[in-house]
Structures are given as structure tokens and as C-alpha cells.
């Protein structure tokens, strides 16, 4: 994720590239708008995370960083690998929604309410999960029916498959999808 490498065009990063922009967060007005602030430590972002169905609590203070939080989440006990994947999928959708609604505020003047953001992220996550459930069901039935040891299988019509790769550094400080 570009966000973990601090490669997103936040005001702080733009200033580092000698592009003159206002540094203060437009939502709260009280902090420099870093990526971590936009996605985690802004009071608006904290409230959004808490309002989700997973009721995430972001630690207090502006020094908390996204990579620390993700590492903490990865070390949390989960019922299964599937549950862990669901948590991280939802976190991705929530980060994306916070980022895109922040951009809508900057470029279109649309503030977006907390409920709109939460509903948008939850809806995207549910859609993704339901498509993964269908995909996994098809994969299971295709694998059972296949006598071949190959992992390839024919997808049902009106089904789309998206392959992705992810990479992370050894120290878990950077990664990308």
C-alpha cells in the first residue's frame, strides 16, 4: 500500500516536494494533515473507525502511525485466518473511503458525514465479501469436480476474477499491493 510508504499526496508530503499547500487539516483545523492524521488520528477519522461494525478504537495522540496500528491488528488473536483477512479487508476499505471523502472535501467542497463514510465503507466491504464468498464457493465446487491437480478452473458467466500480489519489507514498515 502506498500509504504505508508515505507516498500519498498529503499536504505534509507535498510540502516535502516543495509544493506550497496549507498544512492544517480541513476537518479539524488543529493538526498538520499527515497520512496518519487523515486516516487515523483526526477526531473525524477516530469517530468513523469507532462507528464501524468492528468498533475500532484508535489510541489517543497524534504520534500514532498507521503501520503501528496494522502491526497491532496483525498480532491480535483471531478465530481464523479467514477472520484476519476480513478485518484487514475492511481496514483497507475504510482507509480508502476516508481518503476519497477527504479528496471530495478538498476538490469538490463535499464534507461527507460520518454516517455516509461508514455506510460507504461497510457497503463496499459487504459487496467485496459477498463476491469472495461466491468466488470461493465456485472454486471449491470446481476443485472437487476436477480430477486435475491444476489450480485453474472455469469461472461462471458474469464472474470476474482479479489476481493481485502484495509485498512487504521484512521489518513490516513498508509494503504494496
The C-alpha atoms of residue 133 and residue 24 are separated, in whole angstroms, by: 42
Place of cell 496483525: 74
pLDDT in tens, 92-127: 999 999 999 998 998 899 988 999 999 999 999 999
**For the chain, which residues make up each domain, given as ranges?**
8-171
Residue 170 confidence (pLDDT): 66
69/108 Cα distance (integer angstroms) = 30
The model's pLDDT over 43-101, given as tens digits with 9 standing for 90+, comes to 999 999 999 999 998 888 777 888 888 888 888 888 888 899 999 999 999 999 999 99
Nearest-10 crossing angle of helices 114-145, 43-51: 50
Residue with cell 479528496: 103
Whole-number percent of the chain with pLDDT over 70: 63
Please, what is the average pLDDT of the chain?
Answer: 79
**Is 62:41 a contact under the CB 8 Å cutoff?**
yes
Amino acid at each position: 500500500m502506498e500509504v504505508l510508504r508515505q507516498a500519498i499526496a498529503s499536504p505534509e508530503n507535498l510540502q516535502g516536494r516543495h509544493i506550497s499547500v496549507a498544512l492544517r487539516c480541513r476537518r479539524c483545523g488543529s493538526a498538520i494533515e499527515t497520512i496518519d492524521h487523515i486516516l487515523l488520528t483526526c477526531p473525524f477519522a477516530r469517530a468513523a473507525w469507532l462507528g464501524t461494525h468492528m468498533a475500532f478504537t484508535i489510541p489517543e495522540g497524534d504520534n500514532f502511525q498507521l503501520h503501528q496500528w496494522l502491526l497491532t491488528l496483525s498480532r491480535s488473536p483471531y478465530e481464523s485466518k479467514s477472520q484476519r483477512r476480513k478485518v484487514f479487508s475492511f481496514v483497507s476499505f475504510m482507509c480508502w473511503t476516508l481518503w476519497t471523502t477527504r479528496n471530495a472535501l478538498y476538490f469538490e467542497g463535499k464534507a461527507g458525514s460520518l454516517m455516509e463514510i461508514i455506510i460507504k465503507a461497510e457497503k463496499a466491504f459487504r459487496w467485496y465479501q459477498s463476491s469472495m464468498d461466491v468466488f470461493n464457493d465456485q472454486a471449491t465446487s470446481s476443485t472437487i469436480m476436477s480430477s486435475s491437480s491444476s489450480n485453474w478452473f472455469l469461472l461462471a458467466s458474469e464472474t470476474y476474477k482479479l489476481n493481485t500480489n502484495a509485498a512487504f519489507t521484512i521489518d513490516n514498515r513498508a509494503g504494496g499491493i
